[in-house]
Structure formats: structure tokens, C-alpha cells
Amino acid sequence: MNDSVKFSYMGTAKVTAHRGAGNLLGEIASRYGSRAFVIVSRSVSEYPCFQEAFGSVKERLSACLYPYSAGEPSPKGVKQATAAAEAFGADVVIGIGGGSVLDLGKAVSALVPNGGSVVDYLEGVGTGARLKKDPLPLIALPTTSGTGSEVTKNAVITDTERGYKKSLRDVRLVAKEVVIDSEFLVGAPLSVSVYSGFDALTQLIESYTSNKANVASRLVCKKGLCYARVLPEIYRDPGNHAYREEMAWAALLSGVCLADTGLGAVHGIAASVGAHTGEGHGKVCAVLLPHVMRVNMAVSRLQYAEIARILFGEEEVGADGLVQKIANMALRMGVPRDFRYLDVSETRFERILSDIYGSSMRYNPVSLVREEWERVLRPLFFCEAE
């Protein structure tokens, strides 16, 4: 076989997707256990559709509700949730929320049978511990369309005190089943929809241009990009269920792609910015995307031209036009031009710069040394006069 078409490919969970699918949650979860630990975004717990879905769980299983509103999961947050799941005697975990809730669900599902601190298992900062026992089964119902966490094998844990954002990674962490229901998606605040949407778009673009991309991954990326075309429509009509369903598929497929190809510099930098400032991941990706695309233009021009044709149809915008259109779209949707609003100190900027070389950076199509990345990033954090 020619090297240019060799590839490996990881599949995904069983997906049930239609409006009202949340009401099947009890039936689905009952196939995997009898005591369900239900982690839900606190805001989502007020949705009428959640009350119906949780009711379906309680009809078939013993259920413990664990509302969560602490942002990206921290080691302390994982410890608290795991202790609650253990005290309840959970044998199946249900995550209903955005990427942070789903990642917390993965971590809890791993630690209940395996014990220890989640830090022990984190790449780069842990002790190198591996999961010896299978995690508890996880059922995922995403309420945002961004991370694709519902189909990935990693749980991202953030420690802003120690300044890191690292993953617990194991193929057994992939959810057993995924439920996509637009009733849960239309209730998200518009800003959350915008920033999570940009995260999914970034993942699709970075997967497509990754130096690990392959025939299968690019086919999946193309389909995901077709769905991602609705992101501006969601901004204009956030209550449209059809748009929400398409964006949910874009996010899910972005997760499928990144699991096989890795990502790139946007996510490498975003992890460091998030760890050192606490800023939301999707928002950071939205700001960074056009800037990093300009850096990668030297080697990704052909791929960007292909992406432009997918995102903007018959219009021949080309690679340069793609970057400008994405930048303009971001501004129209309220995305900041840069990070100057964060008002970071020089010391914090240096820490951010030092920590951008995580696992995502190795898949970026262009490799830059620290001084080159500093020239790219410094104007995003400081006024030129500085």
C-alpha cells in the first residue's frame, strides 16, 4: 500500500440523535447498570427537558443527581464528585452538560473503580499511573456543540493554581452511548453557543491540517465542516432546532477527528492561556484561530483553499480569503480581536509562552521556536507601544 493512503482509525460510541431523545436516557442507562450517578450542569438542571429526562432515569434506575457549576474540572472538583459517586454506589455515570461536565463524568467513571487522585493519571504532571480496571460505563448527553468530548478518550483537567491543563487519557473513557437532543441545545446562552461553536470549527480545521491527518480523518472533517456552516445561522436564530442539530453533528465529528489526528497550535496555546488565566477554552480558540491560521498558511494553503470551498460554497474565496472571512465572522459574533482585555502581566505572559508546547502543538503543520511564537502572541496580549 502506498504510504500516502495508510491510516489507522478509531470508531466511536453508539449515538441516538433526534429531538426528544433525552427521554430515552433511562432506557439507555438501564442497559449498563442499576445505580446512576447523574452529573448535570446546574443551569441545565432547570430545563424542562432535563426534568423529563431525569424522570425517565428515575423510573428505571436508582439515581443520584449531582449538579455542577464549577467550570472546567479541577483535581479538587474531581475528588469531590468521585467521593459522592462512591458513597452512592454508582455503577453507571450519566453526564449532561458541556465539555466540562462530560470530562468530569469521564474522570469519575475512571476513578470510582481505580482509586487514587486524578493527578496521578494526568499526562505530563502525574506519576505515570494507568487505569488497571475498566471505568464505569458513561452515557453522555451534550448540551453545547463544541468540544466533542462525548466521543473522545480524554478528560481534560485544569489546575489554575499550579498552572496546567492536562488530560487523563484512555480509550476506555469513550462514552458507551451518546444522546443528542436539540431540546437541550437551544437553551444555551448565545455566548456559550458562539464560543463552543468556534471550538468545534477550530477542531475540524486543525484536524484537517494536522501533520497526522489521513484519508479517513479528512473525509470525516469535510462532513463536519459542512455541518459547521450553520454557526453564523445559530447566532442569528439561536432557537432553530435544525441548526442546533447540525452544529451538534459538527462538534461530534470534530471529536471523532481529533481522536485520530490530534489538533494543532490553537489548542496548544489555548490550553496554556486557559490554565494561567482561567479564560474559557472556546473563547480563547475563537480569538486565536485566524492568527494561527496565518502562521500555518505557508504549508496549509492547499488545505485552507479546500476548507474555504466547503464552508463558503460556490464562492471562490481561496486560502487568504478563508482566514479573513473567519476573522470577520468572529468579530460579527462578538469575539474579541485579542487578549488585551485579560490584562496579563509580563510574568504571566512568560508562563503562558513557556507552557504552549503540550501534546497538541506537535501536530501543528508549522513548527516554530519560542521566539517565533512570542512574535505572534505578544501583540495579542500587549499594546504595540509596550
Note the pLDDT of residue 5.
43
Note the pLDDT of residue 385.
47
Instruction: Give 22-44 pLDDT, tens digit per residue.
Output: 999 999 999 999 999 999 999 99
Per the DSSP assignment, residues forming a β-bridge with 180 are 17
Q: What is the pLDDT averaged over residues 89-102?
A: 97
Residue located via cell numbers 493527578: 119
14-184: CATH number:
3.40.50.1970
Note the pLDDT of residue 11.
54
pTM (predicted TM-score): 0.92
Q: What is the pLDDT averaged over residues 222-245?
A: 96
Q: Which amino acid is at 2?
A: N
Going from the C-alpha of 121 to that of each of 13, 114, 126, the distances in angstroms are 23, 10, 5
Q: What percent of the chain has pLDDT over 90?
A: 87
Q: What are phi and psi of 37, to 5 degrees?
A: -95, 110
The CB-side HSE value for 68 (13 A sphere, CA atoms) comes to 33
Dihedral over alpha carbons 245, 251, 256, 259 (to 10 degrees)? -160
Distance CA 285, CA 270 (A): 6
Q: What's the whole-number average pLDDT of the chain?
A: 93
Instruction: Give 356-366 pLDDT, tens digit per residue.
Output: 998 889 999 99
Q: Please check whether residue 42 is in contact with residue 207, taking contact to mean a CB–CB distance below 8 angstroms.
A: no
Cell numbers linked to 351: 508562563
Q: Spell out the domain ranges in the chain.
A: 14-184, 188-381
Identical fold, 14-184 and 188-381: no
Q: What is the pLDDT averaged over residues 207-218?
A: 94
Q: What is the pLDDT averaged over residues 321-335?
A: 96
Note the pLDDT of residue 161.
87
Note the pLDDT of residue 145.
95
Helix (H, G, I), strand (E, B) or coil at 215: helix
Q: What is the pLDDT averaged over residues 294-317?
A: 89
Q: What is the pLDDT averaged over residues 46-69?
A: 96
Note the pLDDT of residue 9.
47
Task: Tell whether the model's pLDDT for residue 4 goes beyond 70.
Answer: no
Instruction: Give 164-186 pLDDT, tens digit per residue.
Output: 889 999 999 999 999 999 999 99
Q: Does domain 188-381 have CATH number 1.20.1090.10?
A: yes
Q: Of 270, 287, 273, whose CA–CA distance to 329 is shortest? A: 287
